[in-house]
Structure 1
Amino acid sequence: MKVYQAQFGFHDCVVAAPNQTAALAAWGIRQNLFAEGRAKVSEDPAAVEAALAHPEIPLRRAIGSKDPFSLEPNLPDVPDPPQRAKPRLKVVPKAKAPEPARPPPDRSEVDAAETQLTAINARRIEEEAEFQRRREALEAEETASRRRWAADRKTAETQLDKARRAYRAQGGEI
């Protein structure tokens, strides 16, 4: 796996992928950002560590920040705009009464959807940790099995060698 890095909007984005095509697919991009020089192999150790912990999942952070890469990055720090002089306005008589103020739009559906997305992302991270634990257990079991096989094979070869010597000693030919 290699770790690739690109900038999208206000975020630096990294992803661990086997190749550039897989990285572009993980980012959801069709154009070749690598050919344009807008994406590259990351050399940042923190970015590499974070991306390898979550293969083929794009992680982001605000451009220029030292925050860790994550699924839900913080908003970028935006400097205050420069103060401008107030323009001189011409007084125009009012034509009609202003419209009554409208109540603010209901944000409850947006909040619920954001909460659901955060829960889905957290569940995915937990699943990946469980998969990693199971992979490690399976690798340990495979290693133990290989050792048993090697020991059993060595014992069997030793017994075969003894049996052949005894057979030859009795006048037999193999």
Structure 2
Amino acid sequence: MAARLKVYAAQFGFHDSVVAARSQAAALAAWGTRQNLFAEGRAKVTDDPEAIAVALAHPEVPLRRAVGSKDPFSLEPGLPDVPEAPKRKAPDPKVVKAAPAPAPKAPPPDRSKLAAAEKALTAINIRRLDEEAALAERRAALEADEIASRQRWIKDRKAAEAELEKARRAYRAAGGEA
């Protein structure tokens, strides 16, 4: 027993297309696409009796006709009829339009407040750089003082330790216990 055929319709470019197939997948294969046009709403089962009759006469063969026409579906449809474009009226030579006057130029905006704000910001940045330089000098001087202080301490401590050791030896030599 032959499988029951359904007639599917879709639009491709300038043509409407129908195909009689046993499933949506078979219809997509007949149209030569792997894109699921049914999921996108671009293909559907048709209920047009004329399209159904022609498609069932040629199962699994896509038939086409120009979009919007009532021509019968066929293997090689013609192009759609395009209406002629409306003709334009030639301009009346007596009526001459004057060119619109250029709009008056607006004066440039006042930049004085912007310039003053930029100058103030530059002065603040320069002052900060000067402060950082002064702090760096003070930091370097403090580090130099710290190094000198440490060196004095080391020198004085060595001298005091040597004096302490000398005094201990003298005390022991004199008979004391330390």
Give the TM-score of the pair, scaled to structure 1: 0.47
Give the TM-score of the pair, scaled to structure 2: 0.46
For the pair shown, the structure with the greater C-alpha radius of gyration is 2
